[in-house]
Chain A
């Protein structure tokens, strides 16, 4: 099947408006006859479910958590971008579009990104109308901060809890529709298969996580807003339950999986403390607005710090290496995430890591505290040379900006970040890859849509900070609800979809037999054993730097591990009860397939781009080297085993932007 991205004709800036004018609509009376399933209730799924219900469709929404409010979008900290130009610093739709395409290392689709930038302003208006309490200045107007990879302040935020506030906004919009009966909510339900009838997605199979019941649910279209697959690395900033299962099952039913190897490794996370570690905690990118990243210049200081004979605060200014400021003077500490992460890895690999494992760098707020302190002392007419006073005032400012993040750090690490620099290290955070979708956000299975992090569309090979929230809400509030109408307009006479068809039967049986296998396997090792092992392979061989040899061995190892998993995994308990180990086993089984495809994709992509860094393809100063012949999207078709997956290419055309070397120097 040839990939048709269905990009509308016409000039870039008019494509979306023109498309909306030309696609088919469903009249309000007919919407009542149409059911839509939305899986996942994060920013994308939650906003889509609410908007579809407002439009009049009958929505069935599913989440595996005990409430839609717990979706992992809630953990996003720093902010959401929008081209509002409230700061008057020259921002525009085009600039947001340009920054996003450049930030994504010219591996995203122009038309989609432009549309994203275009609707970004609407998101802020919508959220404010919903009562989302964004940060404001003393004039009562909305405040902005800066994020990596851009030269304007366009990030709206609510302290370090922007994702929470936006998600609760979407959740409240859902609640209104649940109250009206337009959304039927299924909490603690996990989707385990997509049902395709006559070539169209017509329903899903779910497992009720409380009772273990396997259920059939039908609809005229299915929307997946099921997030990313960062947990293939075991350790990531994703929630424990975040998984690829929904997307992977869709892939197995015919949806192409695009760019699985594009993973974002976030530079500022709390370092691993030991083998017991179950997840990693992000420290928002917004901290790089004020924090400076450094390691000691001299190895002897590194040694002393590791032996705890020297404190970081005792190292003199001239003995510190602010390596981001040194290497990238134009963007400094605010380079994009992929660049910052690789730079940290480079320093740590060279032996300058500052904790016991050698995998940590400093994020230091001392100069920000001093700067803010002096400013406050000046404003209040106090002595600007009183160091203790300046420090106190400065700490207060930093506290109002990042208080919750500092508290979070202190609780985990047991060190006071107001007094001593934070230790950070990169960790897996986001996956740019995902289900391939066309301009309408439809996958290669008609009637099956993917939105938010679950699709691949907007971030290319690297996502800029504060753009995930923007994309999730853009897809859910402003894009999908329109484009899905075009498809559903053909379904107004279809009537309710029966769940008695042989396709539902077959899908249910498949789900049941997999569960039976896992429950009756009587192996010897718990699920986590395999998950951790997979994570180690992924991190060591498909992590921040990749090469042909490692990728080939990763493919081998993952495939072997998968075989071992099916032979030797032990799942205690029953299928007909609450059984977290069973749920985990199913998720890890899918990660074990995805992981192999991931490595295969990374192997095939013989270039470095954004989050995908191939050691063989780098410039003289160690920067990513893109190759013109790889200016395409890799979309993989499922053929039984990951190794048999077939590659389809969607060529990327840049008509409105000049493809250049991506420089932040």
Chain B
């Protein structure tokens, strides 16, 4: 199929960017979206132009690197996938496709479609851990039985890949789904209780300091999340935060 691509091009963080049109032909429906961009880039290099920069690595939907806003949606029109898992069979011959970087003040553009998501890392530094040293003599793993429902819910929250689609699709650029996924994972496990108060306070404070917006419960994040992280986690974080506020 033949497509028109409208892609955000921006030389570096300080440069002005703009949307640029590209034509691409002979796109196979079996290609992934990123493979389609590979083809475009090969053509650009052969023409002596600069290829389009985008983040990508594992190309199997788990590393969380890829991050494109495609036709007005994070990771494109398909559900429960990342951009690397989006296939061209979701598009039709003659389509025009808008490709933009995540947009948020807390995610400044580095180049073209690549943004700086280190704000997410800093939120994790603030409290996304359980303080246990590596000693080789922690208690036996089965000494802490955990109700299956809680273990499963903790796992579901823990599957967050930190891609930032939640921030990108939220009209307020809120990072609540991301932060709540980590807070929930530990809130659901007995190991996480000891530091629960400090964890949620520190992580939320860092989230606010990074310049993310507030949650207004539109639910866009949950719909666009490639791992289907539930809004329940945000409610749980709200509870944890309020509990911590009144306690602290």
Contacts and interface: CB of A to CB of B under 8 A. Distances in A.
* Direct interface between A and B, CB < 8 A: yes
B158 A477 contact: no
B141 A133 contact: no
A605 B125 CA distance: 48
Interface in A375-410: 407-408
Interface string A259-274: 0000000000000011
B85 A74 contact: no
Contact of B142 (A50, A142, A172, A187): A142
Contact of B38 (A66, A172, A175, A528): A528
Given A240-B59, A412-B85, A526-B42, A133 B65 contact: no
A161 B64 CA distance: 13
Interface in B34-81: 34-36, 38-39, 41-42, 44-46, 48-51, 53, 55-65, 78, 80-81
Contact of B110 (A176, A274, A578, A581): A578
Nearest to B156: A133
A173 B60 contact: no
A166 B28 CA distance: 36
Contacts of B87: 411-412, 414
A241 B57 contact: yes
Contacts of B124: 171-172, 175
A133 B189 contact: yes
A577 B57 contact: no
A69 B64 contact: yes
A138 B151 CA distance: 10
Given A240-B59, A528-B42, A478 B125 contact: no
A159 interface: yes
Given A122-B136, A125-B138, A278-B38, A164 B57 contact: no
B138 A126 contact: yes
A173 B121 contact: no
Contacts of A112: none
Contacts of A337: none
A3 interface: no
A28 interface: no
A51 interface: yes
Interface in B154-192: 154-155, 158-159, 161-162, 185-186, 189, 191-192
B62 A74 contact: yes
The size bracket of the interface on B is: 35 or more
Contacts of B136: 119, 122, 126, 478
B125 to A, nearest CB: 4
Contact of B131 (A158, A176, A279, A577): A176
Contacts of A168: 158
A155 interface: no
Nearest to B45: A526
A130 B118 contact: no
A101 to B, nearest CB: 23
B216 to A, nearest CB: 27
Contacts of A159: 155
Contacts of B7: none
Contacts of A139: 145
Nearest to A528: B42
A4 B85 CA distance: 47
A47 B55 CA distance: 25
Given A125-B140, A164-B159, A279 B60 contact: yes
Contacts of B138: 122, 125-126, 128-129
A60 interface: no
B186 A131 contact: yes
Interface in A93-141: 119, 122, 124-141
B120 interface: yes
A319 interface: no
A110 to B, nearest CB: 22
Instruction: Give the most central of A140, A171, A481: most B CB within 10 Å.
Output: A140
A135 B50 CA distance: 47
A70 B110 contact: no
Contacts of A44: none
Given A72-B63, A210-B110, A66 B28 contact: no
Contacts of A528: 38, 42
B128 A276 contact: no
Nearest to A278: B35
A309 interface: no
Nearest to B116: A66
29 contacts: A67-B117, A119-B136, A122-B136, A125-B138, A125-B140, A125-B141, A126-B138, A130-B132, A131-B130, A131-B191, A133-B151, A136-B145, A172-B129, A175-B124, A175-B129, A178-B121, A187-B121, A237-B60, A240-B57, A273-B30, A276-B30, A276-B31, A278-B32, A278-B59, A408-B85, A478-B136, A526-B46, A572-B50, A578-B12
Interface of A: 47, 50-51, 54, 65-72, 74-75, 84, 86, 119, 122, 124-142, 158-159, 161, 164-165, 168, 171-173, 175-176, 178-179, 185, 187, 210, 237, 239-241, 273-274, 276-279, 281-282, 407-408, 411-412, 414, 477-478, 481, 526, 528, 570, 572-573, 577-578, 580-581
Given A131-B130, A528-B42, 12 more contacts: A67-B121, A69-B162, A75-B58, A131-B189, A134-B151, A140-B147, A165-B158, A168-B158, A173-B129, A175-B121, A526-B41, A578-B53
